[in-house]
Structure 1
C-alpha cells in the first residue's frame, strides 16, 4: 500500500504540481522509506546508497556514450549516414532503414539533438519514397527513437534499466538488439499498411513545419531525457541540423552519400581539412559495442582470458570507442570541434546522470521495504504474469507522466524484488519495463511536439504517427519479449 501511495504521489507531484521529476522521485523514496519502517537512518541510507550504487554501475557508461554521440554530431555523421542509407536502401526501404539505424547505431547521440537533426532530413526524403512518404518517415523516426532509448545500449533508458536491475551490460546489449530490430521493422510495416489503406488525410494531418511550433508542448515534460530543460531548438539554437553549430543545414539539403574521403573546410576557418569516410567515423563506437557483446558471449561460454575480460568490460569498451571517436573527429575537423563536442556532452549527460541516480534511489528503497516477498505471493513461477504486470505498470506511469525513462525505471524498481523470489531473469524485467514505457507517447511528451513541429504534421497527424506508431511498437515488443522467458 505504501509503495502504491509513493508511486501515485510521485506522479501527482510531477503532473499536477509540475515539480521537477528528480525532486519528486526523491520525495517518493523518502516517504516510502519512512512509512515502510526503515527509519530515518535506513531511509537515508537507501536513498543515498541507491543513488550511488546505480551511478557506480552506469555513470561512466552514460557519460562515455553521450560524449561519443556529441563527437559524431559535431562531425556531421548523421546527415551523411542518412544520405548513405537512401543511396543503399532506395526509397522503398528508407523507412525501415531509418527505424533500425536510429534505434541501434545512433543511440549514443543525445536524443533531442538526434531528433532536431534527423527530422528535417526525414521530411526532405519523404516525397522521394512514394505514396504517404511523410507519415511513413515520421512513424519510422518516432519508433526508432523511442525503442532505441529503452532497448539498445548505450541508449540512456537501456543503460539505466540495466543499472537498476543489475543486468550485465553485455546481456542487455544482446537481448535489447534481439528485441529492438524485429520490433521496429514489424511496427513500421504495420503502420505502413495502415497508411496505405487510407489512414492518413494530408489536408487534416499535415501542415507547414514551424520552428516555433515546438514550444506548444508543455515545458518540463521531456519524454527521453526527463528534465525541465528546454529542447535544443527551443533554446535558441539553429533549428535544423545545426543545434551545436557544426555548420550543417539539415533543413536545406540532404547531403550526397560519402563513401570516400573528401576535402572540406576546417571548422575553425583555418583552411581545408580532409573529411574521413563515414565508416571510419562510426568504427570506434561499433568496435566498443562489439567488444561488450563479445564479452557477454565469452562469459556465457565460460571462456576466461584476462585480456578478453578486460576489453569486454563495458566501461573499457565504451572508453575505447570514445577515445577512438575523439581521435577520428580530431583528425577530420580539428581540436576546436572536439572541445566543443566535449562541452556539449558534459551539459547533456549531467541531467541524465542525476535522473538515473534518483531512479536508483526509489528502486533501492522499494527493495529494502520488502516488496519482493509481498509480490512473490501473487506470482507463480510462470514468468508471463509478472512480465505483463511490469508492462502494464510502465504503460500506466508513462501515460500519466509522459516520460519514457522515469516510467521504465519506476516500473522496473517496483517489480525488481520479485525476480529472486520466482526466479525471473532481471533482463526480462528490464525489457518488459522498457516496452511498457513506450505505450501512448502523447501530448505530455517533448518528443511528440518536436516531431509535430519539425515534420510538418498537425496534432492529429502526430497522434497517428507518434502516439499510435510507438504504441504499436510497445505491443509488438512485449509479444516478442514473452517467448524470451523460455531462454533466460
Structure 2
C-alpha cells in the first residue's frame, strides 16, 4: 500500500506540472501534503514536516546556489566567459574548434544552470560557426553536451550539490568521482557524437544572431578568467584529496577541509570575482552589487523548487515510506545504484524536468544509503545520470535546443534526445564501474 500511495502521488505531481502547468514548487509542496496524509502522518505533523524538509534542504544549499549564481553572472557580464572561449579557439584552431567549445561549456557549466549556460554560450556558438564557416551543430552539440554533463555530475553545480545534500554525501568526493565520469562522457556525447549526425546542417535562425561581443580590451585576461572560474573546483577537489590522503588531526587537513567546503570555496571565488571581474575592470562597487542582486533574483524560484523536493523527501522519511522501500530492497538482488537510476529515469521521462526528477528520486531513494551501506556519493551520480535520460518534449531544454538551432522535432530527437541518453547511460556505467573499486 505505501508504494501504491507513492505512485499515485507521483502521478498527481506529473499531472499538476505537465497538464495543469502548476508551478513546480507549488506542485511539490501540495503533493507532499497529500502523500503525507495518505501515508498516515497525523494532520498536525504534515506542515511541520514540510517545513523541516524545506528548511533542512535549503539550509545546506541556499548559500552554495546563491554564490554559484553570483559567480556565473559576474563571469558573463565581464566578458570572462567570452575570453575563455576565444582563447581556447585560438589554441585549438578552427579544425578542432568543437573541442574548444566543449571545454568552454565544461568550465562555464560548473558555475551555471544548464539554461543559463546555454543562453550565455549560444551567441558564441553562432559567432564561431559563422566566422569559421563550419556547421552550426559541430560546435552546438559539444557545447550542449558539456553543459548537460556538468548539470548531472559536477558540484558545485547546484543540481548535483542539491542531491548531495539529500543523500548527506561528501561534496568534494562527489566532485572527484563525478569528474572521472564526466570527462569521457562529455567527449563521447559531444564531439564524437556529432560525427553521427553531421548530415544535419541547420542555418542560424533569423533574429537570433545578434550577440553582445566584447572587444578585446573590455575582457579580463584568460588566466584571470580561468583562475576565477576554477577556484571553487580546485579548493573542493583539494579537500577531497586531503580526506583520502592526510591524517585527520593534521593542520593541513583541517585547513584544506575548511577551505574546500562548498560555502567557503564559493565565497572565496565570489570575493575574487568581485575584484577580477568587477573592480579591476573599472566597475564601481554599486554596479557590481547590482549584478550580484540580479543573479540571486534569477535563481529564487529554483531554490524554492529544490526546497519543495526536500519537503517531499522529508514526508517520505517521516511517514515511513523510505524505510519501507529500504526493507523491500534489502531482499532484492538489484543494486541500489541501478534502482535509483531507474527511478530518476522514469520520473524524468514522465515529467520532463531533470531537477524535479533528481530531487524526487533522491527523496525516494535516500533511505537506501543507510539500509544498504552504498556510497552516498555514487548515489548522487546515479540519480543525476538517471535524471538526464532522453529529455522528452515536456522538458524545456528540448525546445531550447530545437529553437536555437532551428531544428524540426524529429531532428531534435536525433540530436538532443540522443546525446542526453548517451550521457545518462554512460553515467550509469561509470557509477557501476567505480562501485567495483571502492
Question: What's the TM-score, normalizing by structure 2?
Answer: 0.90
1:137 is aligned to: 139
Whole-Å separation in 2 of the counterparts to 1:240 and 1:449:
20
Deviation, 1:417, is 0.9
The match for 1:23 is: 26
The alpha-carbon distance between structure 1 residues 381 and 278, as it changes in their structure 2 partners (threshold 3 A), is: farther
The 5 Å alignment of 1:55-204 reads 55-126=58-129, 133-196=135-198, 200-202=199-201
Aligned mates of 1:340, 1:109 — CA distance in 2:
18
Stretches of structure 2 lacking an aligned partner (at least 5 in a row):
none
Q: Please tell me whether residue 300 in structure 1 is matched to residue 240 in structure 2.
A: no
| Equivalent residue in structure 1 for 2:233, among 273, 289, 305 | 289
Residues 50, 364 of structure 1: 8 Å contact kept: yes
2:435 paired with 1:485: yes
Partner of 2:354: 404
Distance (Å, rounded) in 2 between the aligned partners of 1:138 and 1:16: 31
Over aligned residue pairs, what C-alpha RMSD do you find?
Answer: 2.4
Alpha-carbon distance, 1:473 to partner: 1.5
Are the counterparts in 1 of residues 153 and 178 from structure 2 also a CA contact under 8 Å?
yes
Check if 1:363 corresponds to 2:313: yes
Superimposed CA distance per residue, residues 10-39 of structure 1 (whole angstroms, 9 cap, x where no aligned partner): 111111111111011001111121122221
| Correspondence 1:327 to 2:327 | no
- The answer on whether the counterparts of 1:387 and 1:429 sit within 8 Å (CA) in structure 2 is yes
Written as runs of structure 1 = structure 2, the 5 A alignment for 1:366-377 is 366-377=316-327
- Report the alpha carbon displacement of residue 171 of structure 1 after superposing the two structures with TM: 1.7
Cα deviation 1:57-88 (Å, max 9, x = unaligned): 11101111110111001101222221111111
Alpha-carbon displacement from aligned partner over 1:85-118 (angstroms, at most 9, x marks no partner)? 1111223433233234323443213443321231
Return closer, same or farther for 1:166/1:3 CA change in 2, 3 Å cut-off. same
Does 1:386 find its partner at 2:386? no
Establish whether residue 209 from structure 1 lines up as the match of residue 159 from structure 2: no
CA contact (8 A) 1:119 1:451 kept: no
Helix, strand or coil at the partner of 2:390 = coil
SS in 2 for 1:485: helix
Q: Indicate which of 1, 7, 25 corresponds to 2:10.
A: 7
Does the Cα contact within 8 Å between 2:174 and 2:377 map onto a contact in 1? yes
Contact 1:391 1:433 in 2 (8 A): yes
Alignment partner, residue 444 of structure 1: 394
Q: Distance in 2 between matches of 1:82 and 1:174?
A: 24
Q: Select 1:314's aligned residue among 253, 262, 269.
A: 262
With over 3 angstroms needed to count, the CA separation of the structure-2 counterparts of 1:130 and 1:183, relative to structure 1, is farther
1:210 touches 1:456 (CA, 8 Å); kept in 2?
Answer: no
Query: Alpha-carbon deviation of 1:441?
Result: 1.4
What per-residue deviation string (whole Å, max 9, x for no partner) do you get for residues 215-244 of structure 1? xxxxxxxxxxxxxxxxxxxxxxxx754xxx
Q: In 1, Cα distance between the equivalents of 2:405 and 2:30?
A: 38
Map of 1:224 onto structure 2: none
Alignment match of 1:33 (pick from 13, 33, 36): 36
Relative distance call for 1:381 and 1:80 in structure 2 (3 A) is farther
Measured against aligned partners, the alpha-carbon deviations of 1:175-223 in whole angstroms (never above 9, x if no partner) come to 2212211111122255233125xxx344xxx2550458xxxxxxxxxxx
| Alpha-carbon distance change, 470 to 33 in structure 1, aligned in 2, over 3 angstroms | same
Q: 1:110 to 1:341 in 2, by over 3 A?
A: farther
Q: 1:7 to 1:312 in 2, by over 3 A?
A: same
- Find the residue that maps to 1:379 and give its secondary structure: helix
Whether 2:386 is the aligned partner of 1:464: answer no
Per the alignment, residue 223 of structure 2 pairs with 279
Distance 2:333 2:68 in 1: 32
Q: Does 1:48 align with 2:67?
A: no
Question: How many residues of Structure 1 are paired with residues of Structure 2 in the alignment?
Answer: 429
